[in-house]
Amino acid sequence: MISPALIDALDRWLDHARAIDGVAGNTIKAYRADVLGFLSFMQGHFGEAQGLAAISRIGVGDMRGWMAHERGRGIAPRSLARSLSAVKSFYRWLSEREGFEPTAVLSARAPKFHRKLPRPLAEDAAREMIDRVGLQATEPWVAARDEAVVTLLYGCGLRISEALGLMGRDLPLPEVLRIRGKGGKERIVPVIPAAREAVARYVDLSPFEPEAAAPVFRGTRGGALAPRAVQKVMEQARLQLGLPATATPHAMRHSFATHLLARGGDLRAIQELLGHASLSTTQAYTAVDAAHLMDSYEKAHPRR
């Protein structure tokens, strides 16, 4: 049995991550599950209840045993790396407060895995997607709404939750928006004229009057527009355009970043626009651009 003191420490760490670091609710749930799984393994591994004193004695061999156990359960390398990251964060926080040496846990190496590259659309496909989305609905205001949302995803690099989180108080859209993204982190995002115009057209056609505390984008019954509605209209559009299943709302955000980079955009600036906490996340787009370059090279070089 995991000791009450250790459970209390875990809860205090999660409260700290939520309040001080601004970690999102879903991430907090994942952290809790990851660390509890680790502590449960250590309980069986040592054959005794895991309290604060026991947890401080974890060694390199114990960490290897846990990771081997997780791999044996079929846990994918990416998921194991995420669990290890959560365990390290908790252990570092706990060691600072309890005064024990955390090196054995912090030195554990994450398993190697191939990062999935973002799957952006080509520039012409992204434009065609926006145009096609605006032709799906029979009601003009719904068509204008869908086109406005997808234009924001591609034109401003917003996540779908961020676009649908815009409120009436944000209207009319300014040249620059303050967006609160993952973990409550705020960033400044320029709004291109095409996006401002698309949203203004939707607002003019919408049967619902904008309200400061209500979402800009409404469903047909007046409630907040659900992400699934946007996903569905994009699914219909991609089938008509012959685009792959990866042509999703999030792919429009990937396309925004990839096309900026291809046109000479600064990687640090793109990181800020996307709201990535780490530059390494944004650097995935350099791999996409390099892959596209090599593909063009292979197809066009006369000595291929």
The length of the chain is: 304
Type of residue found at 128: E
Alpha-carbon gap, residue 89 to 105, rounded angstroms: 10
- The three-class DSSP label of residue 84 is helix
**Is the separation of the CB atoms in 58 and 42 below 8 Å?**
yes
From 117, 122, 245, 272, select the one nearest 185 (Cα to Cα): 272
Burial 191-211 (b: 16+ CB within 10 A, else e): beeebbebbebbbeebebebe
Burial class (CB in 10 A: 0-12, 13-18, 19+), 147: buried
Catalytically annotated residues = 159, 182, 250, 253, 276, 285
Alpha-carbon gap, residue 58 to 71, rounded angstroms: 19
Q: Which residue has the tokens 């990416």?
A: 78
Type of residue found at 157: G
- Both tokens assigned to 191: 């709004």
Other CB atoms within 10 A of residue 177 CB: 19
Dihedral of the alpha carbons of 270, 276, 281, 283, in degrees to the nearest 10: 20
From 233, 261, 259, 262, select the one nearest 248 (Cα to Cα): 233
Who's near 178: CB < 8 A, 6+ residues apart? 186, 187, 188, 189
